[in-house]
Amino acid sequence: MYYIKVNELTMKPINLLKLKPCLIAIIFAILITSCSQDTVKPQTTEQKPKTTQTASKLEREKYRSAITALNNNDLASAQRLFNEFIRNKPSLAGGYSNLALVYFKKNEIEKSLTQVNKALKLNPKQAQALNLRAQLYVKKGKIHEAKDDYLLAVAAKPKYMNAQYNLALLYDIYLQDINLAIKHYKIYMSLLKKPDLPTQEWVTHLEGTLKNE
């Protein structure tokens, strides 16, 4: 997905790289814990449970199958498997967050919002879920609500580059707060393993516009 911003000085469209929804980092792996400690991770690596409340081996295998289906864009299978997981483990936020992502990819906004709200009720600091809900708010035109969720996401997980980028983009395109846009673009770029030249060039352009004001 690409967002195009029009350069107001030249009226030439500038490729603002790809908007990084949560579609990369929100492919959640499960951390089997109690509902108050459930933590979502962006990779499919297991971690030791922090409590005695655990999922069975079969449930973990179904969860991995659901993630695989989601990665392969087999949304029907992913939806069915995450629903099964939620029925067995309704106190874990990860199932709801992933199901919300399934609905997001299907462009079923209200269903996605319902599921992500359930996830955040269980774990209010789940950064990936906050990032996803912010995306949903943008789609609904609720820009300030989106900003609030992005800010919560980066507060909960400062090195979460997708949320940093999305927050920068929101300040840039929707809120026209160039100073804050530059701040979060730079945080995003500082977290990258490889340079993002298009965004770097765009930040240089933005800094130039500020000097010319």
Query: Into which CATH architecture does domain 1-20+124-213 fall?
Result: Alpha Horseshoe (1.25)
**Which element (helix H / strand E) includes 2?**
strand 2-6
Structural domain boundaries in the chain: 1-20+124-213, 26-123
Residue 59: what pLDDT? 84
Question: Vertex 132, ends 126 and 133: CA angle to 5°?
Answer: 90
Q: Which CATH superfamily is domain 26-123 in?
A: Tetratricopeptide repeat domain (1.25.40.10)
Segments in the chain below pLDDT 50: 1-52
Decide if 1-20+124-213 and 26-123 have a common fold. yes
- Closest listed residue to residue 127, CA positions, set 162, 92, 100, 103: 162
The predicted-structure confidence for 193-211, as pLDDT tens digits, reads as follows: 999 999 999 999 999 999 8
Question: Vertex 157, ends 19 and 84: CA angle to 5°?
Answer: 80
Residue 54: what pLDDT? 66
The predicted-structure confidence for 165-178, as pLDDT tens digits, reads as follows: 999 999 999 999 99
CA distance 27 to 72: 11
